[in-house]
Amino acid sequence: MNFQAYLEDTYRIIKEEPVILILGGLLVQLLTVFSLGILAGPLIGGYTLLVILALRENRKPVFNDIFSGLQQFANLFPYFLVLLLIFLGFMLLILPGLIFATWWLYVLPLMVDRKMSFTHAMRLSMNKVNEKGFLMHLVFLLLVSVIPIMLINFIGTIIPFLFVLKILLPPFQVGCLASLYIDQFKQEETAADSPVDGEPDAETAVLLPRKTERELDAGANEEENNSDESGTPDMTTNEEKTPNASEEKEDEQEKD
């Protein structure tokens, strides 16, 4: 993990689009609270996708993009259950909540960017965290989410007007998470472009774009057609041989 690169990416996009990212993050926070967390998946998902596209494709953010997650409402709504499990984990002596939050760090980016189901996203996120190092992801979570919230709350009790710093948390946290997500899953995108033996494994196949899958199917069908054509006997050759044989018999009778 390159924490410095994640911070630089976050600072760059906030510097380029401060109004959309800061006000948009504040709006997402308010609407999530007013909906009692039910709209957390679509709202935070749309905001996350906006940041991912800005970092990965240099796409200029538009304010309406914040609500793009509502177009995937059915897919993103179950993220509410993930947040509920994490909340219950924090209620159970905090440690289970930290473990769940670390394991499922990539769930929302995978759901909104790759359009995965939340169960598949949970499984893939857990596998990625365990593969790359649970401890490093836990440190990332503490530095980006837990510690900043605790510091702002502590400082806010001493200097109340500093609570306004909370509006900077969404773009900071989502920016760092989006940068981490792009960095950790870029290897899967590369593997999808060059699968081994022409057949991607189960997880990589999900990461393949639909166009690539159709091209693979078309290539397989083309190979079958070629094999069928090569196995078909040449009828033209046989037909040409038949008249030649009859002509030879006629020549022999004339000689006799």
Give 192-197's long-range contacts (Cβ < 8 A, gap of 24+).
Answer: none
Indicate whether 35 pLDDT > 60: yes
Distances (CA, A) of 122 to 38, 78, 132, 169: 19, 11, 16, 24
Mean pLDDT of 82-102: 84
Chain centroid to CA 221: how far? 29
Look at the block and give the residue holding tokens 């996203």.
121
pLDDT per residue as tens digits for the range 147-168: 888 888 888 788 777 777 888 8
Residues 194, 232: Cα–Cα separation, whole Å: 33
What's the token pair of residue 186? 């870029």
Closest CA to 69 of 104, 103, 31: 31
Q: Which residues contact 81 (CB under 8 A, 6 or more apart)?
A: 118
pLDDT band at 222 (very low <50, low <70, confident <90, very high): low
Chain centroid to CA 79: how far? 15
Domain locations in the chain?
3-195, 211-255
Q: Tell me the HSE value of 250 on the side-chain side, using a 13 A CA sphere.
A: 5
pLDDT per residue as tens digits for the range 186-210: 866 555 444 444 444 444 444 444 4
* Average pLDDT of the chain to the nearest whole number: 77
CA angle 21-24-28, nearest 5°?
130
